[in-house]
Structure 1
Amino acid sequence: MAENRASVYGEGVPCWVDAQLPDVAAGRRFYGELFGWTFDEEVPDSAAAVWARKDGSPVAALTHKTDGRMPTVWTVYFATPDARALCGRIRAAGGQIVTAPVPVDGLGAAALATDPEGAVFGLWQAGDHPGFGRRHEAGTFGWVELYARDTQAANAFYGSLFHDALFGADAEPDFGRAPVSDVFPAEMPPHFLVHFLVADCEQAVGAVQRLGGRVQAPAFDASYGRVAVVTDNQGASFALLQR
């Protein structure tokens, strides 16, 4: 379907996700079996990202985690035409820049930031790589939920950065906000949770468990679909979403 082969993403639209893993080969096996992803050939530099593809189109990346102190995690990237300018607006709104914009082999420029509560998110300024080649279908990105302590403060922060993407007349949001305690223990830090679409949530949960992952939150009904929160076999959390 044409709408799944998006080539341009407006500022504030989730446009890419990657997972930082200690063992990329194990990640390829896990996600290849779970979502039917295929992978580009690994490059000699073990720190480089390996693209995952669905029906030939890029849908995510798996990256080798070189520092064992860093979390094993999925990160969402929001599109921007000017990452440096957006970093300035993030600082002015009370957020912090973890990694300033860095060019990525002509593909674009990436940065990492946190909101005022500490939730980490990425920025992507497209070059040759605009982002997802497919989304909103089984085995691809479908949603990202911010679990925050103060959802009104989160609305104000992200609304000031990405107003058109969140509240514009033509917006079809891929991004929601909810209190941490809705799903997780109250002491869980604020964070973004990447959701991948599946045809059957319960069956997908069973597949995660067979592949060595575990369940953090059994399937429940949310306003945007049926959701289960799981981790892969290396500890990276993500959600399964059935619509």
Structure 2
Amino acid sequence: MAVQSEGAPCWADAMFGDVEAAKSFYGDVLGWTFGESSSEYGNYTQAYADGKAVAAVVPPMPGQEGPAQWCLYLASRDAAATAARIREAGGEVVMEPMRVGDYGTMCLARDPSGVVFGVWQAGTHEGFGATAEPGAYCWAEVFTREPGKSDGFFPQVFPYKAKQMDDDGVDFRLFDLGDRTVLGRMAMGDDFPPEVPPYINVYFTVPDCDAAVARATGRGGVLRFGPMDTPFGRFAALSDPQGASFSVIDINTTEGEMPKITDVA
């Protein structure tokens, strides 16, 4: 597997107060299996779909307990240089670049609107072993109440070209790397409770959206939106029993015309 392009989504993990409960939930909903936890790295535990690494779960470090939340990592060839650009663009480096053995170098950051994301400079761990396959990562969107701040920030840090969806009912932007669309940005409206912070929503591929929703809600998850048919697939937004938001999407069940997209100068 080649190292991902600068700015491409390359990994996702989540911190859970009850890791065993998270493993049981996602194992049932997404069909994940799990490797051995690494005590050397804070009991970090990789998740696998059909034997391929697709995500990880980890307990919080002492003193860092907080709400469960998925974190998306964007690829970097030089994490220190990316951290410098984050600051120059008005963002905050929450955790300075840190070497993780031979696996690579990570840092955590926050965009000017408050969206937390990760940066990953690959070593032996290059990122997702599979994407857009059952159980694997498929897509992600930045949800923010201050879209102008996010729109100005991300293309300064990564070599993104922006496009805007032409839809009066929704403020939605897309970020491209070359000819590949890699990330979305959604403006949070009044339908989002004020206590919900800005975040990145990750989508995991499933063969049947409705069946995945039924498994999730049967295990204590909460359906937030959908299921809904779109030109990109049938998807639903959920929260797991520990409060982490995520979405599931069946990319083979599509409906409707592709929306009109306009390049942003």
Match of 2:216 in 1: 208
Q: How does 1:59-208 map to 2 (within 5 A)?
A: 59-66=54-61, 67=63, 69-164=65-160, 166-170=175-179, 172-181=180-189, 184-185=192-193, 188-208=196-216
CA distance in 2, matches of 1:210, 1:46: 32
Using the TM superposition, name which of 96-105 and 146-155 deviates more. 146-155
CA distance in 2, matches of 1:220, 1:187: 25
Q: Tell me the CA shift for residue 167 of structure 1.
A: 3.3
CA distance in 2, matches of 1:187, 1:232: 17
* Paired residue secondary structure (2:24): helix
Using the TM superposition, name which of 184-193 and 128-137 deviates more. 184-193
Q: Tell me the CA shift for residue 174 of structure 1.
A: 2.8
CA distance in 2, matches of 1:51, 1:154: 30
The change in CA–CA distance for 1:125 and 1:76 in structure 2 (over 3 A counts) is same
Report the residue type matching 1:25 in the other structure. Answer: E
Q: Give TM-score, length-normalised by structure 1.
A: 0.89
CA distance in 2, matches of 1:167, 1:32: 32
Unpaired segments of 5 or more residues in structure 2? Answer: 162-174, 252-265
Q: Tell me the CA shift for residue 12 of structure 1.
A: 0.5
Across the two proteins, how many residue pairs are aligned to each other? 237
Report the structure number with the largest CA radius of gyration: 2
CA distance in 1, matches of 2:152, 2:41: 39
Query: RMSD of aligned C-alpha atoms?
Result: 2.0
Deviations 1:179-201 (A, max 9, x none): 11186336632211111111222
Asked whether the equivalents of residues 136 and 197 of structure 1 are also in contact (C-alpha less than 8 Å), the reply is yes
Identity of aligned residues (%): 39
Unpaired segments of 5 or more residues in structure 1? Answer: 1-5
Using the TM superposition, name which of 179-188 and 136-145 deviates more. 179-188
The change in CA–CA distance for 1:63 and 1:161 in structure 2 (over 3 A counts) is same
Is 1:17 paired with 2:12? yes
Deviations 1:31-59 (A, max 9, x none): 11111111112344583210011121111
